Amino acid sequence: MSSKVSPGPEFQDWLAPERTAVVVVDMQVDFAAPDGALGKAGLDMSVAAPALEAAEGLVSAARMSGVPVIFVGLATDPETDSPVWGEWRRRNGQGGDGALCRAGTRGAQFFGPKPQPGETIVWKMRYSGFFGTGLDAILRARGVDTLVVCGLTTECCVDCTVRDAFHLDYFVYVPADCCAAYDDGMHAGALASLELNCATITESCAVMAAWNPRAAQQA
């Protein structure tokens, strides 16, 4: 992966608060908490902790700078589970039903940065935050053409959301420290692929400095 973009006069214009939104993807109990579904299944949730902390700082700085924060979360239901996904799991030798973030359960609750009253929450049933949701319409109505996307996991729901955003003609920035995968190589590979094809890879400190140097220091 090439060197990450650093803040500068152009960077400040590209990420101006009036055109930008932060999209937080799937930072939820089942994906990030030790007592969530994946933690109970034996995955090491400590790998997500630095990204959660960095994302909290990014979200705080966004709020201080007047940048809207939109939370995108997975909310599944047995009645809407995809038969194809179930069969795909079976064909690939994966055990169990793969049920995560069941709507209305603790597993679907946000973990790390959490929505404040009045902030937008978009619930999805697939990997991408744009698939089958109103996210695009929400962003267009606010005059947003630039997204800062963070979340879990880098190679899955972050990747799919970023690619769909690019296909919809958004400029997309991904702060690498605000994303995580359960495998470091997968995280790095996903970022390299996104940087090659559809996103600008940066760090949260650079994004915050572009908005407001003082806010970056406080966050």
Enumerate the active-site residues: 26, 124, 157
Distance CA 194, CA 126 (A): 19
Identity of the amino acid at 51:
A
Amino acid at 70: I
The residue written with tokens 């995580």 in the block is 180
SS3 assignment, position 118: coil
For residue 107 the two structure tokens come to: 């597993």
Characterise 112 by phi-psi region: left (phi > 0), alpha (psi -120 to 50), beta (else). Answer: left
Decide if 204 contacts 57 (C-beta within 8 A).
yes
C-alpha span between 177 and 40 (Å, rounded): 25
CA 5 → CA 86, 94, 190, distances in Å?
40, 39, 17
* Cα–Cα–Cα angle for 91, 48, 182, rounded to 5 degrees: 30
Residue with the two structure tokens 């267009």: 140
